[in-house]
Amino acid sequence: IDFGFQHVPREEKETLVGEVFTSVSSSYDVMNDLMSGGMHRVWKDRLVEKLRPRPGQRHLDVAGGTGDVAFRVLDAMRTAQYGSAGSAHGGGSFAAGGAAAAPAAAGEPPAAGGSAAGGAAAGPSQQLPAVTVCDINASMLAEGRRKAEARGIGPESVQWVEGNAEQLPFDSGVFDSYTVAFGIRNVTDRPAALREAHRVLRPGGRLLCLEFSKVVVPGMQQLYDLYSFNVIPQIGRVVAGDAASYQYLVESIRMFPDQESWAGMIEDAGFRGVDYENLTFGVVAIHSGFKL
Ligand code: SAM
């Protein structure tokens, strides 16, 4: 199997990626902790620290999966408004601008029913909540919704929208910020996804992308390869009963462009002030760019 999906047609790649995430959705959070030794939490915390979301802003987290980044963004907004007591883990509602209403019937996300949300695009007229999670995979979103419900976070604070990063189901210029964490490498047409990110941001809006990257310390690459090609699929086999999906994750990391090439692609999509920060010796990097 070519887990890099380089030689498979586009639709087939999308189907295969879909199968991978449907297969891993229920074990996804546990596996994240096991595979990264908990580091994914530190990396996501840094992403949101860089973002510094403010109350009243509208944030879009693409390929948001089970909501890890979304909950952090909501937490940061609440902390900025109410101090440390206002945590996304503490429940309660929190709407953008303090006045945004739920875009659909209470308790019901706008893309309910698993549609691609194409017809249900949230626009300025529809009042967006503080945070919007958009993901192509219904199982991952369902897991996220379950977590949100358990934390008492309603659709007036976080909405869950099924949609493709390459063709976002939102109007232009409606978001203040856009994040994508460990998601862009799964997207088939990355330039299209970047153009879409640019389109849905307002002028002055910011893109932040957290993704596996190229290790910058000599000698560490071999160690990292040894770990990712041998240990990760084994953890996948034992814990999730699914070595193949985790093998895919490792292969897709290997195929992703290095820091400079990815920064160039972000610029090509129209972003300005593009830079990046390496974390953990370049195991991951956070790229940043602004729509001017
Ligand atoms: N951002 C989450 C996190 O950091 O925990 C989830 C990351 S998970 C590794 C990758 C996610 O990308 C999956 O939920 C998958 O469904 C989603 N995805 C893959 N291709 C996509 C696409 N074209 N558009 C939107 N989401 C996509």
Task: Kindly report, residue by residue over 65-87, the tens digit of the pLDDT.
Answer: 999 999 999 999 999 998 875 55
Residues 123 and 161 in one domain: yes
Residues 84 and 154 in one domain: yes
Query: If you average pLDDT over every residue of the chain, what do you get?
Result: 84
Which pTM does this prediction carry? 0.85
Distance CA 120, CA 130 (A): 18
Residue 278 has a pLDDT of 98
Residues 153 and 245 in one domain: no
**Strand order from edge to edge, sheet including 272-279:** 158-162, 131-135, 59-62, 175-181, 201-212, 284-290, 272-279
Residue 123 has a pLDDT of 45
252 C-alpha to center of ligand 1: Å? 12
**Any ligand 1 atom below 6 A from CB of 137:** yes
Residue 111 has a pLDDT of 35
Residues 68 and 179 in one domain: yes
Two tokens at 276?
């990046």
Residues 249 and 263 in one domain: no
88 burial via Cβ count (<10 Å: 0-12, 13-18, 19+): buried
pLDDT digits (tens, 9 = 90+) for 223-279: 888 888 888 888 888 877 888 887 888 888 888 999 999 999 999 999 999 999 999
Residues 45 and 30 in one domain: no
DSSP 3-state assignment of 133? strand
pLDDT digits (tens, 9 = 90+) for 49-62: 999 999 999 999 99
**Any ligand 1 atom below 6 A from CB of 65:** yes
Residue 125 has a pLDDT of 42
Does 102 score more than 80 pLDDT? Answer: no
Q: With bands split at pLDDT 50, 70 and 90, how would you rate the model's confidence at 119?
A: very low
Range of 14's domain?
Answer: 1-36+215-255
Residues 246 and 263 in one domain: no
Sign of the Cα torsion 161, 167, 169, 174 reads positive
Ligand 1 binding pocket mutation candidate from 21, 28, 41 (most atoms within 8 A of CB) = 21
Residues 8 and 130 in one domain: no
Residues 200 and 245 in one domain: no
Residues 270 and 167 in one domain: yes
User: How many domains, in total, are found in the chain?
Assistant: 2
Give the ipTM.
0.99
Q: How far is CA 193 from CA 63, 65, 199, in A?
A: 11, 16, 10
Q: For position 121, which CATH number holds?
A: 3.40.50.150
Residues 140 and 108 in one domain: yes
Residue 32 has a pLDDT of 83
Residues 221 and 203 in one domain: no
